[in-house]
Homo-oligomer: A and B are copies of this chain.
């Protein structure tokens, strides 16, 4: 037991992951998400060298429509012993799903927990909207792009951040995707000019600042570090997980209220970063690569600041210096991210963190020991994880 949350450090490990093809928006909608999750679980088990019947826990987030009881029955588990759901929607609550899984296997409540997420977009009717076709709760309710556009504008106003800074995130991420055969934009580079010429969605956010929307199923398998030692793949340890939100971070119903000025220019992840580094006994200097949830490019820039890679307001110059590129200080979203690989609520960011730690990424960076995953900036909670090579 510890006040610092460091008890969990390196006690759980990723032993495998799997996913379906990354479909276009709506491509897999006909049969719902269950078949996608089943396929992802089976591929993850193949990767890990275990039987799906060994999975005795399931963890997910964002109101995933899969049913844990049915999954356990489907795969013939002796008993289901753990289930948990992240509270809240979008990609922010993903950190919770990994935290619950890590705690469950580390405390012995379950042996192997599958973190799963299945998405088919059209039934959610969310693109450009407020979700599931509901009328907005408040007349002033905004779409995610509109909300985050206001934060981006404030960051530009206060710190001199430019369109080119956002553009560099878009272009560098696409560059990585061009070499990733799984990516929706494999082999399709863009230039800064393409970024500037892309359609304005909510000033200053352009089309090429926005994530994709995709269908697919994803699974990451987690067990105790002890058990992970004897399995097929080199284990990737979970050195820390943190989640939550700071005081006066509020995007209630996607409308900011009562926010401090600094938070309004942030991804709302300052206390998560503090807790995460303390849990893991690490700091920004220990991070070799980062996968930062890129629903909109300005949030990557703000995440870079929240997690201490650049001081508040200096994310723009940090990005402009090429630090997200191969050989840069912080190669970021080396799979192509939500912008250019696929948007599956952050699960593909975890896949890439695991690949970088295993040394098997398409855009493998040299000497990767530690990979940071930052979940989506969202009303609350968000989260983050530090993974490291065992």
CB of A244 to closest CB in B, whole Å: 4
Q: Chain A binding site: helix, strand, loop or mixed by DSSP?
A: mixed
Q: Which residues of B contact A79 (CB under 8 A)?
A: 244-247, 271, 275
Q: Which residues of B contact A85 (CB under 8 A)?
A: 84-87
- Determine if A135 is an interface residue (Cβ-Cβ < 8 Å): no
Inter-subunit contact B108/A99 (CB<8 Å) = no
Q: Which residues of B contact A93 (CB under 8 A)?
A: 83
Inter-subunit contact A252/B381 (CB<8 Å) = no
Q: Which residues of B contact A224 (CB under 8 A)?
A: 1
- Determine if A72 is an interface residue (Cβ-Cβ < 8 Å): yes
Q: Which residues of B contact A286 (CB under 8 A)?
A: none
Task: Please choose the segment from A3-11, A328-336, A353-361 that sits at the chain B interface, where 4 or more of its residues have CB less than 8 A away.
Answer: A3-11
Q: Which residues of B contact A76 (CB under 8 A)?
A: 247
Residue among A63, A87, A279 facing the most chain B CB atoms (10 A cut-off): A87
Q: How far is the CA of A242 from the CA of B103 in the complex (A)?
A: 14
Q: How far is the CA of A104 from the CA of B275 in the complex (A)?
A: 13
Question: Chain B: which residue is nearest A4 at the CB level?
Answer: B108
- Determine if A280 is an interface residue (Cβ-Cβ < 8 Å): no
Q: How far is the CA of A103 from the CA of B1 in the complex (A)?
A: 10
Q: Which residues of B contact A5 (CB under 8 A)?
A: 107-109
- Determine if A69 is an interface residue (Cβ-Cβ < 8 Å): yes
The B-contacting residues of A in range 322-367, CB under 8 angstroms, are: none
Inter-subunit contact A248/B73 (CB<8 Å) = yes
Given contacts A6-B108, A109-B5, A244-B56, contact A86 B84 (CB under 8 A): yes
- Determine if A303 is an interface residue (Cβ-Cβ < 8 Å): no
CB of A351 to closest CB in B, whole Å: 22
Question: Chain B: which residue is nearest A257 at the CB level?
Answer: B73
Q: How far is the CA of A106 from the CA of B244 in the complex (A)?
A: 17
Given contacts A69-B88, A69-B250, A73-B258, contact A83 B1 (CB under 8 A): no
Question: Chain B: which residue is nearest A241 at the CB level?
Answer: B109
6 interchain pairs, CB-CB under 8 A: A8-B107, A68-B381, A69-B381, A79-B245, A83-B86, A100-B103
